[in-house]
Chain A
Amino acid sequence: EAQVTQNPRYLITVTGKKLTVTCSQNMNHEYMSWYRQDPGLGLRQIYYSMNVEVTDKGDVPEGYKVSRKEKRNFPLILESPSPNQTSLYFCASSRGLAERYQETQYFGPGTRLLVL
């Protein structure tokens, strides 16, 4: 089954404790990205990746890091989480430039993070 998976689905942590949220897709997609969703602000892109070893900042990258060492995985790293990073996080993937006109984005189920 084609899907985007995220782990963990729920996480409670404390300020300053490094954490990683994993994201994996099995569709051989080139593009992957991370969004956060907050009430009143909607979904905002954090980082995206065009392909392996190619990443770039989205609209709200501060406080986050990403890496793309393999095509299928795109982990989101919070080096020193703060309470304002409490949010619902989504990973998404889509096909590459050759398929740009059919680039429906596929989303993971979300990770709900609470930083105390």
Chain B
Amino acid sequence: KQEVTQIPAALSVPEGENLVLNCSFTDSAIYNLQWFRQDPGKGLTSLLLIQSSQREQTSGRLNASLDKSSGRSTLYIAASQPGDSATYLCAVRPEWETSGSRLTFGEGTQLTVNP
């Protein structure tokens, strides 16, 4: 059974700092990996999706990397801002999942960026 772990569970940084969030998964047979952002009272917003054949994806100040063989992904946030404060979740879709969009989620990293 796939298990997804995110470390750290919580992180507090001063504004302007570069930071890395970690995600690891136990079964490397994945189809893709997504990073989401969750704000209180709102749903999840997809930030980046990396296919299993890709190594990284970039969007603005965000860069996500994937090392499928070692079961790890990182989300790099450059020049963090208070508006980046949220919970960040990673989720993997299994390789065998051909009939649905089942995702296995980590529990998230709660990020606080202090002004």
Contact = CB atoms under 8 A, between A and B. Distances in A.
Interface of A: 4, 31, 33, 35, 40-45, 48, 50, 56, 58-59, 90, 92, 94, 101-110
B107 interface: yes
Interface residues of B, number: 23
Contacts of B46: 104-106
B43 A109 contact: yes
B43 A42 contact: no
Given A42-B106, A43-B105, A33 B100 contact: yes
Interface of B: 4, 32, 34, 36, 41-46, 49, 51, 89, 91, 99-103, 105-108
A40 B103 contact: no
Contact of A107 (B45, B99, B106, B108): B45
Interface residue SS majority, chain A: strand
Contacts of B32: 101, 103
B107 A40 contact: yes
